[in-house]
A and B are shown apart, each in its own frame.
Chain A
Amino acid sequence: MPKSKMNNCHNYQAQLSAYFDNELPTWKRHIIRWHLKRCPNCSDKHAAIQQTDKLLNYLEPVKTSDLFLSNVMSRVKTMHTYENAQRSVLNRIGSAVENMKSWIRGNIRAYNPVYMAGFVFGVVMMVGVTLYSPQIEKLNPFNQSNAEASETHEEKLISFEFIPKQTPKRFLKIR
């Protein structure tokens, strides 16, 4: 077989499984079908794929046990009861937040004008409160400027501390 034809066949053979599974676009299927009619080599490979699949389909499905469904449902119910008992307040808050997030996400995705307006209002309010917040700092007795003032005052007290001069009880005589 000439080398160019072999390469060509190699390309076709790489597509044969997808062709068999009906996973190729129609135009490709037509080209491969046309080639298979003319090329005994590729046609044999296609037959081999069909036969392997036939053998694989010899396996018959197993039957699920009759108790399968009831076992799953009872395990789910047990899990449900246990989770309900175990669920703390924090978990409830967490799931509420989660639900709220998915609710907001869902509604924003749907571009519902009412929810969009509500969302925009909420954002504007938050930005407003951040920019024009009341001047609480001044009322705070523990804010930075007060602390600095008291510190300076203390320093002044220390600098004016009076240490009385004491006369020595006896003198050392040096000869």
Chain B
Amino acid sequence: MIVSDEDLMLECRKGDMSAFELLVRRYQDALVNYIYYTINDYHRAEDLAQETFLRVYKSASRYEPRASFKSWLYTIATNLSRNEIRNRARRKTYYLEDMVDENEDVYHSEFMVDTRFQPDILYEKKERQQIIRKTLKQLPENQRLALTLVTYQELSYEEISEILNCSVGAVKSLIHRARQNMRKLLIKAGIGESVNAQI
């Protein structure tokens, strides 16, 4: 039987560390990926994901299972990502993210796929991924967050509306505009391919 996140959190409130550990195991990959796609810096994404879990643990004593645990977790992660994006914009510092882009395959599961003897395919794939990641970064903050949540985390519009603190209608329009903009930017970058329509 799978124990729900909310039940694990209630156990964690009683001081059960193993319940907390199980929650971390459940969400660590999804959370690191989510933050990575929004701030585009792998090492910082891991730091912020750790910070998210620490905040969850700190607030465990006050936790009441009114909203879903998942939405709450992503809300904390989203706020941390937002602060990071704004701090970077304010300081106009790019850290190591461009260097990370060059070396990022160290952390990618693409090494799991057996493309070692097909350098062209590997190169093309890597280049395409870099373009997509950089294009995603060009979207306005809320559009990027909404699109990342729906595409990579497979959250419902309602969950996204809780996380971004807006209405479901607003999420609908954010995602629609995000896809329109993404499409334009990808075509501009040369990988939009040949479907004639604009979204």
Closest to B177 in A: A17
Residues of B within 8 A of A76 (CB): 17, 20, 53-54, 57
Is B182 in the interface zone, CB < 8 Å from A?
yes
Given the contacts A48-B199, A62-B36, A72-B54, A56 and B151 also touching, CB distance less than 8 Å: yes
Q: Distance (Å) between the CB of B23 and the closest chain A CB?
A: 10
Residues of B within 8 A of A58 (CB): 125, 128-129, 132
Give the interface size class of chain B: 35 or more
Q: Are B132 and A55 in contact (CB under 8 A)?
A: yes
Q: Which of A63-71, A117-125, A165-173 contacts B (4 or more CB under 8 A)?
A: A63-71
Distance of A31 Cα from B43 Cα, bound (Å): 46
Q: Which of A39-47, A131-139, A140-148, A150-158 contacts B (4 or more CB under 8 A)?
A: A39-47
Is B39 in the interface zone, CB < 8 Å from A?
no
Is A174 in the interface zone, CB < 8 Å from B?
no
Q: Distance (Å) between the CB of B77 and the closest chain A CB?
A: 13
Closest to A67 in B: B46
Residues of A within 8 A of B17 (CB): 73, 76-77
Q: Which of B27-35, B68-76, B81-89 contacts A (4 or more CB under 8 A)?
A: B27-35
Is A8 in the interface zone, CB < 8 Å from B?
no
Given the contacts A17-B175, A21-B175, A51-B193, A59 and B37 also touching, CB distance less than 8 Å: yes
Interface of A is mostly: helix
Given the contacts A14-B176, A16-B199, A59-B132, A71 and B50 also touching, CB distance less than 8 Å: yes
Closest to A75 in B: B54
Residues of B within 8 A of A59 (CB): 37, 129, 132-133, 152
Q: Are A64 and B193 in contact (CB under 8 A)?
A: no
Interface of B is mostly: helix
Closest to B29 in A: A64
Q: Which of B1-9, B91-99, B106-114 contacts A (4 or more CB under 8 A)?
A: B106-114
Residues of A within 8 A of B151 (CB): 53, 56-57
Distance of A18 Cα from B199 Cα, bound (Å): 13
Closest to B182 in A: A52
Closest to B173 in A: A14
Q: Are A44 and B37 in contact (CB under 8 A)?
A: no
Q: Distance (Å) between the CB of B134 and the closest chain A CB?
A: 11
Distance of A175 Cα from B155 Cα, bound (Å): 117
Q: Are B197 and A75 in contact (CB under 8 A)?
A: no
Distance of A31 Cα from B37 Cα, bound (Å): 35
Distance of A164 Cα from B73 Cα, bound (Å): 90
Given contacts A59-B133, A63-B29, A102-B64, 19 further A-B contacts (CB under 8 A): A17-B176, A18-B157, A23-B157, A47-B197, A51-B195, A52-B183, A55-B191, A56-B132, A58-B128, A60-B108, A60-B129, A62-B33, A64-B28, A64-B49, A71-B50, A73-B21, A75-B54, A76-B57, A79-B54
Closest 10 CB pairs of A and B: A44-B197, A17-B176, A48-B197, A48-B199, A64-B32, A52-B183, A45-B197, A23-B157, A72-B53, A62-B107
11 CB contacts below 8 A, A to B, read: A16-B199, A17-B172, A45-B199, A52-B186, A60-B108, A63-B107, A65-B107, A69-B21, A72-B24, A72-B28, A98-B61
